[in-house]
Amino acid sequence: MSKKFKWGLLGAWGLVLLSFSAGLTQETIKVGVYLPMTGGVASFGQMEWAGMQTAQAMKPRVLGKKVELFLVDTKSDKIEAANAASRLIENNKVAAILGEAISGNTLAGGPLAEKARIPMVSPTATNPLVTQGKKYVFRVCFLDTFQGEAAAKFAYQHFKARRAAVLTDKSQDYCVGLAEFFKKAFTRLGGKVVAETFCQSGDQDFSAQLSTITAAKPDVLFIPNYYTEDALIARQAKELGLNLPIFGSDGAQTPELIQIGGAAVEGMHFIGHFHLQGASTPLAREFIAQFRKKFPKEKDITAFHALGADAYFVLLDALERAKTTDGEKVRQALAQTKRFPAVSGVLDLGPDGNAVKSAVILTVKNGEFAYLTTLNP
């Protein structure tokens, strides 16, 4: 065999391999996922990822192509979240992104997706700033404006509270924003915020804050924080003899709240996105059955599982209606989502990127999350 023929043959094989590789790429639709799989809020990311995996198993293809998910761990950190979004956009060349789980990290990654004109759908970033001024960032969860008002109304009407105390994690955008919405709504109803104290993620001792709250003699304590801090606050409140209703937010609906808080979180109420007893759509029933098959060791199916799945399903619905992966057309399709029968309930999305949907009121009863009622927007 001549050298000329040999190199020509190798070159031909190279072209075949390149063509085959290009064919594989064309046969898949790449979707990036950036979630906190480790770090302070790892539970959120792990549950949402399990929900997305279940959703992908239920609907693995769209536009005649296989959906390929690329997961990057944000390590519960804003800088890592921005790096993860950049990596998915620049290295993985994804058509769309799912994530992040918390507002602060989504605020870090969202601008990168916006600049690249790549649609992003967050499962659980509730702070209004996440979508403000953006065309390509969406969410499938309710906003903190709705959540704060719902919490204030429930405290005022159900607990007959007229004096409220608030203990807020000032290091988290989500917590600070939600506290403000609660205070404004509670005051507007005729209540009074008699004590406002602060903590930071990772704090272990809340005795000073709780002493200030005890002295103010509130009727209810609102703690709009994530599960670890809420559980520790509840435990120390009980140890100090602060016996009053404690109301939390969607960031507390994880099994870790009960594992850490134990008996101290019994009777704690909070706003949530989803509960099995409130599941009403055909997709929800199918998801629950498939999730239990795929993750038989998981005791609970939480809002984070459901919303992780919803972010995936809503994106694929938009892709189908757009009939393309073109970012602008997918964005338009997302903005026209109406009455989508998601796992967590029927939802609408608009050009502002925000979901209009219901919420549920939950309580901890006998070591489990119990459903009380559904609140419609």
Give the tens place of pLDDT for each residue, 79-113.
Answer: 999 999 999 999 999 999 999 999 999 999 999 99
One domain for residues 211 and 136: no
Torsion angle (degrees, nearest 10) of CA 9, 13, 18, 20 = 150
Task: Round to whole Å and give the CA distance between 85 and 91.
Answer: 10
| Domain count within the chain | 2
pLDDT band at residue 374 using 50, 70 and 90 as cut-offs: confident
Q: Which of 272, 293, 319 is the last residue of a domain?
A: 272
* Whether residues 328 and 263 fall in one domain: no
pLDDT at 20 (0 to 100) = 33
If we measure between CA atoms, which residue out of 351, 315, 306, 308 comes closest to residue 120?
315
Mean pLDDT of 246-260: 93
Q: What is the pTM of this model?
A: 0.84
Q: Are residues 154 and 265 in the same domain?
A: yes
Question: CA-to-CA distance for 233 and 153, rounded, in angstroms?
Answer: 23
Residue 242 has pLDDT above 50, yes or no: yes
Check which CATH number belongs to the domain holding 122 and give it. Answer: 3.40.50.2300
Amino acid at residue number 50: A
Query: Do 207 and 163 share a structural domain?
Result: yes
Inform me whether the pLDDT recorded for 177 exceeds 60.
yes
**Cis (ω within 30 of 0) for the bond into 100?**
yes
Angle between helix axes 303-322 and 282-294 (nearest 10 degrees) is 120
Higher pLDDT, residue 342 or 17: 342
Structure tokens at 238: 């009980």
**C-alpha span between 271 and 281 (Å, rounded):** 20
Averaged pLDDT for residues 157-184:
96
> Residue 21 — pLDDT band, cuts 50, 70, 90?
very low
- Distance of alpha carbon 305 from alpha carbon 49, whole angstroms: 7
pLDDT computed for residue 316 by the predictor: 98
Dihedrals phi, psi of 149, to nearest 5 degrees: -70, -40
Q: Which of 239, 272, 305 is the last residue of a domain?
A: 272
Q: Are residues 252 and 311 in the same domain?
A: no
Whether residue 267 is contained in a domain is answered as yes
Tell which wins on pLDDT, 3 or 128: 128
Q: Check whether residue 185 and residue 246 sit in a common domain.
A: yes
The residue length of the chain stands at 377
pLDDT classification of 5: cutoffs 50, 70, 90 = very low
Check pLDDT > 90 for residue 283: yes
- Chain centroid to Cα 173, Å, comes to 14
Residue 237 confidence (pLDDT): 96
Domain residues for the domain of 193 are 145-272
Q: What is the pLDDT of residues 126-162, one digit of tens each?
A: 999 999 999 999 999 999 999 999 999 999 999 999 9
Q: Which amino acid is at 4?
A: K
- Which residue from 145, 49, 155, 59 is spatially nearest to 100, judged by alpha carbons? 49
Co-location of 237 and 169 in the same domain: yes
How do residues 304-317 score in pLDDT, each as one tens digit? 999 999 999 999 99
β-strand pairing of 28-35 with 65-73: parallel
Q: Is 240 helix (H, G, I), strand (E, B) or coil?
A: coil
Three-state secondary-structure class, residue 166: strand
Give pLDDT, residue 26: 59
> In this structure, are 233 and 178 located in the same domain?
yes
Average pLDDT, the chain: 92
pLDDT tens digits along 322-344: 999 999 999 999 999 999 999 99
